[in-house]
Chain A
């Protein structure tokens, strides 16, 4: 399967327990590192061109319904190569920073840095990528191309010398300018397009039909148990300590939307019992499949503001962690979830503790706007240190820039040409 989907963007999660006496020192170090990322070129971030977004988050020690959780350090990254060559690259570029971070973790041995990181890597059952098959290098180059062309159009418009009385002449002018500026990459890059989904969709029908004698009874049994669970589970506890809740929200909103993009980290406990865990895993598997074959063109349904998002399962299948890198405001992000993706979110999070009550796995739940937002805020953890390789670009910008580049070499009819010209 993995071969077939040709995962250009690889998700990285490295989760390590923190030495209890070092938690404070690590938090301070990450805060300082976070300031340094923004201030100047840092070898661990700016000088590596294979990662798009990455972050370190301290999951604080906590006591939940299902037991105690030690403090852990979670590293998330979204990369264009495989994990081992990425880790090798990080160590080669800036081993010292890694040592400075991981010396706060349990059983860390500076001489075994590489294997320590690889050993603590965990899998990603559900991964969503906004700009499929666009490497970080390509995204940055596409922005340079956009700037060059934008500047050219502005300059020619100011001097009144833009030949704009027919579309194809205009395009030729722009192509000539790119070539004259000694920019060659748009002409020798072949953009990998996501595979069309219909062969997969057609292929799956006979398989489903063939398996239906087994699948249908299984689903019926599963549904029976689901309803039983939903009816017997206690409704979520309404948190009445508003003052504490509001203080928590104020602290997690601090790192939101410094400019264009924001990270979100959310940690919840999975409901106890094998039934909920298996349901969750099946739902994540299905969503991952859908995001690979359908939602691979820059939009998750009608949401076009998510660069990368994932769910991972941690702590011996007891906790569910959601990580995302999105554009715009949190209110917009969560509003989109409620208006446009409530079904998928409810299918996942209704298997976790505290989520607004759902019925039939996918109904209600996230549509209860006030409780859903309160739940999302409550589960949120501060993102200690966060890096974006292209902080000034929205996902829509990334996709638009790519289409501009592709339009320099593609053959276009009149309508496509007029659409292409509207991209500036």
Chain B
């Protein structure tokens, strides 16, 4: 990847901004496209490129399919976007595949979906300090509210980078070859950026790549990426209360929770520490396993969250390298952050088992980037997370994310824990995570933003 590309790619795709712990997301519905374009034109320099590091704040922007139309992207460019992106995340079929049914259904969402004002764009705002973020958001809101309706979403940095159930999050993350050179798990750029070479060796389709150079939107999709945004509410008390009822031993309750996740609360993988949570473990070893030594799931259950969202070398039909290569066609760059006050400030399982709910809502603003929505994000959600038959199982959805009980077919509410001589099986596992809003976005490159804002005309 050359320097020109890096200065063209919006930074949040490549970097998680770990040094900017405060973030807010503004969901926009654009009422006056021309005024918005003018705003975009003036603020282009503020959009953070991947070359700009060590900043104290950052701003990134992405659009939905209707947002691009609204801003005048012509049909011949727009139609080249992927079907999934154009149809949107809430079609009847897609909702079924993603598990957005029952209490997750789009008619109950707080934003996004059919009935509410159409989502056109999202502004992702990051800052080093709380006051810095508040200044940035106030400023943007002040400028935009005259011609856009804004639905702000907050985030909350939790103790030791945990998520609300009390587990260290974001431990396993693929990297991009030539960019994340420290990462042990590097994939070709085309897995996450349009117009680059994918792991299959072909270029990921990029809208505008077939246009003439003279076309105003030539190469519009190049260096862009699809962004999936899902607001996932977590029933933390429900989670720990369910576990509280499964055993009389406190250690055993935390053990069962760890079996569901596949890691201990501090992030140590069960694959390496099957019996108890290590007090100290080297974070560099957090991903030094591939499940190949645990074909039956005696250490890390087949149905556990981390095994089914990245099965690594689990597939028994293939040798280890082939299995990992095949799994790597379905990876995503996760950029999510929690929101809402935690049930317990240090997220200690032993405290959360007893904690009384204070009526707060909390969860995860799930964000991920990928170049092929069907092959990556939707595949994970459909084939691994919401598949009760994953790897020979009968009736187990992802214990954390699964949408259950299913309205038809297998109910999906078992959780099987392989043991010797015979398995343990948790029954009637309730749903712990509920979708509260979701949308597909496209995050264009900086040069595509210029095309969109018409910097070349006075329009």
Contact of B375 among A301, A303, A331 (CB under 8 A): A331
Partner-contacting stretch, out of A2-10, A45-53, A195-203, A393-401 = A393-401
B97 beta carbon closer than 8 Å to chain A: yes
- Interface of A with B (CB < 8 Å)? 153-154, 157, 162, 164, 166-167, 170, 240, 242-243, 246, 249-250, 253-254, 257-260, 299, 301-304, 327-329, 331-332, 335, 338-340, 367-371, 391-392, 394, 396-397, 400, 418, 421-422, 424
Report the bound CA distance from A369 to B87 in whole Å. Answer: 22
- Interface of B with A (CB < 8 Å)? 79-80, 83, 86-87, 91, 93, 96-97, 198, 200-202, 204-205, 210, 296, 315, 317-318, 322, 325-326, 329-330, 374-375, 378-379, 382-383, 387-389, 391-392, 394, 408-410, 418, 420-425, 427
Assuming the contacts A246-B83, A301-B317, asked whether A418 and B409 have C-beta atoms less than 8 A apart, the reply is: no
Report yes or no: A339 in contact with B325, Cβ–Cβ below 8 A: yes
Report yes or no: A421 in contact with B421, Cβ–Cβ below 8 A: yes
Report yes or no: B427 in contact with A154, Cβ–Cβ below 8 A: yes
Across chains A and B, which 5 residue pairs bring their CB atoms closest together, nearest first?
A: A302-B317, A259-B409, A394-B389, A246-B83, A396-B392
Contact of B392 among A250, A302, A370, A397 (CB under 8 A): A397
Report yes or no: B423 in contact with A331, Cβ–Cβ below 8 A: no
Assuming the contacts A242-B80, A302-B315, A329-B382, asked whether A167 and B410 have C-beta atoms less than 8 A apart, the reply is: no
21 residue pairs bridging A and B, Cβ less than 8 Å apart:
A153-B422, A157-B424, A164-B421, A166-B421, A242-B80, A250-B83, A253-B93, A257-B97, A260-B409, A303-B317, A331-B374, A331-B375, A331-B382, A332-B379, A335-B379, A369-B202, A370-B205, A394-B389, A396-B389, A421-B422, A422-B422
Q: Which residues of A contact B317 (CB under 8 A)?
A: 299, 301-304, 340
Task: For residue B190, give the distance in angstroms from its CB to the closest CB of chain A.
Answer: 11
Task: For residue B95, give the distance in angstroms from its CB to the closest CB of chain A.
Answer: 13
Q: Which residues of B contact A329 (CB under 8 A)?
A: 97, 379, 382-383, 387
Q: Which residues of B contact A164 (CB under 8 A)?
A: 421-422
**Beyond known contacts A253-B93, A338-B200, A394-B389: 7 more, CB 8 A cutoff:** A250-B93, A258-B408, A259-B408, A302-B315, A331-B374, A331-B379, A397-B392
Report the bound CA distance from A365 to B375 in whole Å. Answer: 19
Task: For residue A249, give the distance in angstroms from its CB to the closest CB of chain B.
Answer: 6
Q: Which residues of B contact A424 (CB under 8 A)?
A: 422-423
Chain B residues touching A, majority SS = loop
Q: Which residues of A contact B422 (CB under 8 A)?
A: 153, 162, 164, 170, 421-422, 424
Residue of B nearest to A299 (CB): B317
Report yes or no: A335 in contact with B326, Cβ–Cβ below 8 A: yes
Q: Which residues of B contact A258 (CB under 8 A)?
A: 408-409
Report the bound CA distance from A422 to B383 in whole Å. Answer: 23
Report the bound CA distance from A246 to B418 in whole Å. Answer: 43
Residue of B nearest to A401 (CB): B394
Assuming the contacts A397-B394, A424-B422, asked whether A392 and B409 have C-beta atoms less than 8 A apart, the reply is: yes
Report yes or no: A331 in contact with B383, Cβ–Cβ below 8 A: yes
Q: Which residues of A contact B383 (CB under 8 A)?
A: 328-329, 331-332
Contact of B387 among A157, A253, A328, A371 (CB under 8 A): A328
Report yes or no: B409 in contact with A400, Cβ–Cβ below 8 A: no
Residue of B nearest to A334 (CB): B375
Report the bound CA distance from A400 to B388 in whole Å. Answer: 15
Q: Which residues of B contact A170 (CB under 8 A)?
A: 421-422
Assuming the contacts A154-B427, A369-B202, A421-B421, asked whether A339 and B326 have C-beta atoms less than 8 A apart, the reply is: yes
Report yes or no: B379 in contact with A391, Cβ–Cβ below 8 A: no
Report the bound CA distance from A399 to B96 in whole Å. Answer: 28
Residue of B nearest to A367 (CB): B200
Report yes or no: A422 in contact with B418, Cβ–Cβ below 8 A: yes
Give the residue among B91, B391, B423 with the most A Cβ atoms within 10 A. Answer: B423
Contact of B421 among A167, A327, A370 (CB under 8 A): A167
Report yes or no: A422 in contact with B296, Cβ–Cβ below 8 A: yes
Report yes or no: A368 in contact with B329, Cβ–Cβ below 8 A: no
Report yes or no: A340 in contact with B83, Cβ–Cβ below 8 A: no
Give the residue among A162, A243, A369, A418 with the most B Cβ atoms within 10 A. Answer: A369
Report yes or no: B83 in contact with A249, Cβ–Cβ below 8 A: yes
Assuming the contacts A254-B93, A259-B408, A397-B394, asked whether A328 and B421 have C-beta atoms less than 8 A apart, the reply is: no
Report yes or no: B423 in contact with A422, Cβ–Cβ below 8 A: yes
Task: For residue A353, give the distance in angstroms from its CB to the closest CB of chain B.
Answer: 21
Assuming the contacts A254-B93, A302-B317, A339-B326, asked whether A331 and B296 have C-beta atoms less than 8 A apart, the reply is: no
Report yes or no: A418 in contact with B423, Cβ–Cβ below 8 A: no
Report yes or no: A327 in contact with B205, Cβ–Cβ below 8 A: no
Contact of A302 among B91, B318, B394 (CB under 8 A): B318
Task: For residue A235, give the distance in angstroms from its CB to the closest CB of chain B.
Answer: 15
Residue of A nearest to B378 (CB): A331
Task: For residue B453, give the distance in angstroms from its CB to the closest CB of chain A.
Answer: 25
Q: Which residues of B contact A367 (CB under 8 A)?
A: 200-201
Assuming the contacts A394-B389, A418-B421, A424-B423, asked whether A260 and B410 have C-beta atoms less than 8 A apart, the reply is: yes
Task: For residue B198, give the distance in angstroms from its CB to the closest CB of chain A.
Answer: 8
Assuming the contacts A157-B424, A170-B422, A299-B317, asked whether A242 and B329 have C-beta atoms less than 8 A apart, the reply is: no
